Structure 1
């Protein structure tokens, strides 16, 4: 069957919306079509796969930057993937992704990320799970036992504190692998909207008047602890005192709210001040990553391993297949493609699958674990250096798309 992949036009919106409704559900009353103006101003790029029967599959791509290894990395975030049920398994999705990711690469995106409904589908396309964005329920009674901090107080933040809140997120995110930078739409939020979206934003301030943390929260309905739940979207703390102060402020609702549903990921250091971890995962959203450009992603990483030289290869997908050499000079990594035939590369250098490359780059798995999982083969002499080059930062994500 002939398949055409192209950008979605406004005239395609009825079919695009219909496929989305079939995949993700339709709210009561239906999902209205966007106006032409709303669609043009959306900021994302929509793609469709078409055959003789019309649109068979769709997705959208968000262009933004993510923090990896201390730098903002151009990222193609994929969302809204849907295939008509009768045409699943017919090759539409692979061609759709191939074209959309080629375009993202041409725009300068070094990596692509997504939240999968079924990870196995995307593993075949070179994506791998590197982390998870979770909503975790915390009993507020346990927060009442958090010890009071010395030298940190909390106060309600306002629009005048917007720059301080942005700076706090920047400081935290730049120390992790994975967070969306929130520097581009739709993740950049104007000050007025940020404060309108929440019941409150609480700022933690030290004795010098310096902002050292913040929490954004929605109070929710009801005043019976057995049923009332408040939502905490961000709890960012740059000191243990800030973490204690913010948790205690949330815990002060314990007479009328029983649970705080906190958005988090990994082992967040802000949680290390809690006297207990009596928590329940309400929902978990695995986060997957794929490298689009080997040299752009792996090059430029700051590293103390001056003089390190690692030949490696990637094998498993045409756009990444090849032999490469990574060197560290002037405190940063440099990656160049080699002329070694790929069929000979495995005799002399470690070989990564596309999935293994994603896991290594994100710092989600060591070289040793990649071997256990079958994503790294060939000589093991460079394993320790490969691990050291890309580890050291935890994977954290805080924004769902």
Structure 2
């Protein structure tokens, strides 16, 4: 049976929508096919694998930037992956990813990320789990015991505060690895729509520098239904604080609902410093969404990064994916990493330099695992002489993700 992999056209949308419904479920009122105007305005890239019987597999690519190592990195976010049940296991997915990721490189995207439903499928394609986006349930009664902040007050945000909210997210995200920058569609939201999506957005204001104060944190929340604490639930999409007192002020504001709401379902990731001000960590993970990463361009991802290891020189290689295979030498000069491609065959380098699998490269880049742990997992082989330097090459930043796609 012949197979054609190509970008999805608007004429393919009925089959594309049907296949998505089979994979992810269909609402009771059906899943409508988008209008041409909606589809063209969405800003994503869709790919399909077509055989003699029609659309066999599909995926969607979001082009955006995410924060890694203090810079906004062009990223291909993969979503909506679906294969028709009768064609699963046929190899269609591999060819679909090959085409979509090649186009991503042409767009200058040097990494790719996704939220998997089955991580094993994507591990075979070079992706690895580097973090998790979680919804965590917090009893509001516990928040009433958060210590009172000093020099910080809260107030309700308005559309006029949008730039201040964006600035807080920017400062927080730039200090992490992983967050979507929210500078591109579909993650950039017009101010009016951003505020319309929530019951309220609460600001934490530093009043120590004057009456006007500086916005140093925000929480966006949806109140939800009901007023019986045993059953009422509110949702908190973001609770981002730039100081401990900002975190205390925001948590106490959420906790003030405790007479009518029993639980706050908070979107978070990793060990968020905003949670360190809580008197205890009594909470329940409602849902966890692992986040996977793949490197698309070794030089593009690892070159030009700030590193504290001035003068370091690390030869390494990547093996196990034909689009990444090769030998490299990384040096640090003027505080920045530089990569040079070495004219060595991958099979000739194991005795003289460390060799990373594509998965190991992703884990090392994200700061999710040390070189020692990569060896334990089988994602780093070859000479061990540079393991310590590989681990210390990039300043450690926590992995945090707050946007699901």
TM-score by length of 1: 0.99
Find the residue that maps to 1:185 and give its secondary structure.
coil
Note the alpha carbon deviations across 1:135-176, whole angstroms, 9 max, x for none: 000000000000001100000011111111000000000000
Deviations 1:99-155 (A, max 9, x none): 000010111000000000000000000000000000000000000000001100000
Within the candidate set 255, 260, 263, 1:256 is matched to 260
Q: Provide the rounded CA distance (Å) in 2 between the counterparts of 1:336 and 1:199.
A: 52
Aligned to 1:201: 201
- Whether 2:57 is the aligned partner of 1:57: answer yes
Partner residue, 1:30: 30
Alignment partner of 1:390 is 2:366: no
- Cα deviation, 1:314-355, whole Å, max 9, x if unaligned, reads 000100000011110111101121001111111100000000
Provide Cα deviations, 1:35-62, integer angstroms capped at 9, x if missing partner: 1111111100000001111110000000
Contact map agreement 2:310 2:335 (CA 8 A) in 1 = yes
**Contact residue 128 and residue 293 of structure 2 kept, 8 A:** yes
Distance in 1 (CA, whole Å) between partners of 2:316 and 2:349 is 8
- Tell me if the contact between 1:362 and 1:390 (Cα under 8 Å) persists in the aligned partners: no
Q: 1:339 aligns with which of 318, 343, 348?
A: 343
Tell me the distance in 2 between the aligned counterparts of 1:167 and 1:382: 39
Cα distance in 2 for residues equivalent to 1:336 and 1:191: 44
Partner of 1:351: 355
Partner of 1:116: 116
- Separation (CA, whole Å) in 2 of partners of 1:158 and 1:354: 45
RMSD, aligned CA: 0.6
Q: Is the 8 A contact 1:360 1:390 kept in 2?
A: no
Distance 1:354 1:166 in 2: 34
Q: Tell me the equivalent position of 1:306.
A: 310
**1:193 CA displacement:** 0.4
| Alpha-carbon distance in 2 for matches of 1:178, 1:279 | 24
2:372 to 356, 368, 385: 368
Give matches, 1:1-400, under 5 Å.
1-207=1-207, 208=209, 209-400=213-404
Aligned pair count reads 401
Other structure's SS at 2:393 match = helix
Stretches of structure 1 that go unaligned for 5 or more consecutive residues are: none
Distance 2:339 2:27 in 1: 48
In structure 1, what is the Cα distance between the partners aligned to 2:254 and 2:107?
Answer: 43
Please say if residues 217 and 234 of structure 1, whose CA atoms lie closer than 8 Å, have aligned partners that are also in contact: yes
Quote the Cα distance in structure 2 between the aligned partners of 1:132 and 1:377.
27
CA separation in 2, counterparts of 1:196 and 1:268? 27
Deviation of 1:390 after TM superposition, in Å, equals: 3.0
How far does residue 391 in structure 1 lie from its aligned partner after superposition? Answer: 4.6
Rounded to whole Å, the distance in 2 between the matches of 1:4 and 1:329 is 46
Give the 4+ runs in structure 1 shifted more than 6 A: none
